[in-house]
Structure 1
């Protein structure tokens, strides 16, 4: 970014615009926390006995320890956590750090998208994809689950977005869904036939199908390679730190790869950076 671009970025109108985007990202991050916490329990994964009627709307936001409903000022994204010094106002139990961090990460992603995309349609599309990928990554990391309630809508949204516009045609988006699903489905059954073990879950198939819908069938091989490399690096780091491997969630790896390729396709920024490095 040169000096003139920096001056333009820091102009009052741009500062107001990006501030609004930041607030939208924090609110989206707050709802993301609700989805990440409640959806696995709604699907009978780690569901407490006292949360039988839990859904995304009921009961209202409350402390997970003392169950006391939160007032408005106690439920402001990020700000409430800072004002409460990270503790519940009623029982004084510590509020997990992951909640404000999730909000901050979501807001940062939205802010980054607002810099890379300049039309309302492409920006809204990027917001939608990044929110879903972040939610799926967090759920898979904690519950080893990629819910159909998120992966299937993401498939339809990808097809819908590319029926209206974008760098990928609807034809490529449709075949991207098919190729994405069959790619991991084939690996799954090959692994199971040869070793009599399940190497991954069906949620991974659906997530790659969704990413194929968003990035086109031509990107599926790159998605698989990049995700595999990310998974390998994560496994090696985990083995060095914890001296063990165990089951590795593949959803975050696919999400990172898919987000990178989508941004590269739609904004061309990362491709331009790559070509610039080649010229050095």
Structure 2
């Protein structure tokens, strides 16, 4: 890497994170709609039904950004990450419809987490891989929050990338990466079937299994239990608050993927300090 001051690399990471966050908003909004339309067409073909002539929803790369309300193409100034939303005061320049808070929040989150990754690992290939890991987790969490989907198009590349990086090795050796991926998948798979046998209901989706498998490939089997415990704790707290505030009924399913992604990123960045702090508080070390 170029010999530049660390603060300059961190500043660059923040700016890059804002730009990537803008792209992640496109992925979060367009990928599920595109996939669902493709699945619908495939189902119609399989059942020999009349396929719909409606065009597919906009793709991720080719179609330019536009207002979801009036469909007017956005200018370059409107597309400036975070600042474009602030300059427009959260409303479309053309139809004055409100712009979702998702746009600036995802961009800001991506910028802040990108800074944290470079601060943690320093400039180098390890930080670059960590940025990709972070960005994919943000996209997966955003999609799951909106649609309760964790697309294979993101979870499987994240899994394979973690396994490939173990060959260098970058974060863990190949054996722990493979074992972490297998145990990550099988652990939630076992919980899923046990819950279904006891209640007749599905407690989570297969995308959750694949996401935890990907985290196991990146961090090894030792991260799986802390990630599951932390994600369950955060999920229980947030779910309880939503129920108390009556913004979420007890019978309404809540996606678990965002909590897995959140816990996985926290452990990726601060797992060792958290573990040492826990051992110190409990007197085990």
Superposition TM-score, scaled by structure 1 size: 0.86
**Cα deviation 1:110-151 (Å, max 9, x = unaligned):** 111121111412211211111111111111111111111110
Quote how far apart the aligned CAs of 1:87 are.
1.8
**Cα deviation 1:147-202 (Å, max 9, x = unaligned):** 11110111011112222123411111011111111111111111112221111111
Aligned match of 2:196: 192
Which whole-Å CA distance do the structure 2 matches of 1:36 and 1:160 have between them? 26
1:153 aligns with 2:157: yes
From 241, 253, 260, the counterpart of 1:254: 260
From 22, 42, 63, the counterpart of 1:30: 22
1:232 aligns with 2:236: yes
Q: Can you give the 5+ residue segments of structure 1 that lack an aligned partner in the other structure?
A: 1-11
Which whole-Å CA distance do the structure 1 matches of 2:55 and 2:17 have between them? 28
In 2, are the aligned partners of 1:212 and 1:220 still within 8 Å (CA)? yes
Calculate the aligned-residue CA RMSD, in Å.
2.3
What are the within-5 Å matches in structure 2 for residues 104-123 of structure 1?
104-123=108-127
Which whole-Å CA distance do the structure 2 matches of 1:201 and 1:78 have between them? 33
Aligned residues: 264
Aligned match of 2:46: none
**Cα deviation 1:69-128 (Å, max 9, x = unaligned):** 122222111121122222222222221122011100110001111211114122112111
CA spacing shift, 1:236–1:174, aligned 2, 3 Å: same
Secondary structure of the structure 2 residue equivalent to 1:72: coil
Which whole-Å CA distance do the structure 1 matches of 2:121 and 2:278 have between them? 19
CA spacing shift, 1:275–1:116, aligned 2, 3 Å: farther
Q: Can you give the 5+ residue segments of structure 2 that lack an aligned partner in the other structure?
A: 41-52
